[in-house]
Homo-oligomer: A and B are copies of this chain.
């Protein structure tokens, strides 16, 4: 039998993603930052202050998930949520100084982690993997117009 579980692309993908997340959170535990929270901060540093709806698009999750996430992050002092002066529906999310400081830390944790993850693989593996993952996400995402 062709090993219905271990050879399954989906299983492997989900396993690998979970392993990376688990390791990151283990090492970033003292920062008090989860993987999802780090993703938020990274988006904010990339794009500047954002409405929650925009954040949801960039992260490719649902607005309600951003709502909960932002609520916890605001409570923990990672972000501020300010009213948009031009549109009273919108809450503009911005990183605090604490978030900006943690960003660099988390980045280096992640870099070290990726090095660990790819240890022992041939050179160029990272680029190959990135290209494949982008293709997969593009192929499977409905609004297919990333990057």
Residue ranges of A at the interface with B (Cβ–Cβ < 8 Å):
1, 3-24, 35, 39, 42-43, 45-46, 58, 60-61, 107, 110, 113-114, 116-121, 125-126, 128-130, 132-137, 139-141, 146-147
Contact = CB atoms under 8 A, between A and B. Distances in A.
Contacts of A20: 9-10, 13-14, 136, 140
B137 A9 contact: no
This chain: copies in complex: 2
16 contacts: A4-B45, A5-B46, A5-B58, A6-B147, A8-B110, A9-B110, A9-B126, A9-B129, A9-B130, A10-B113, A12-B137, A13-B16, A13-B133, A17-B18, A19-B137, A129-B129
A122 B42 CA distance: 31
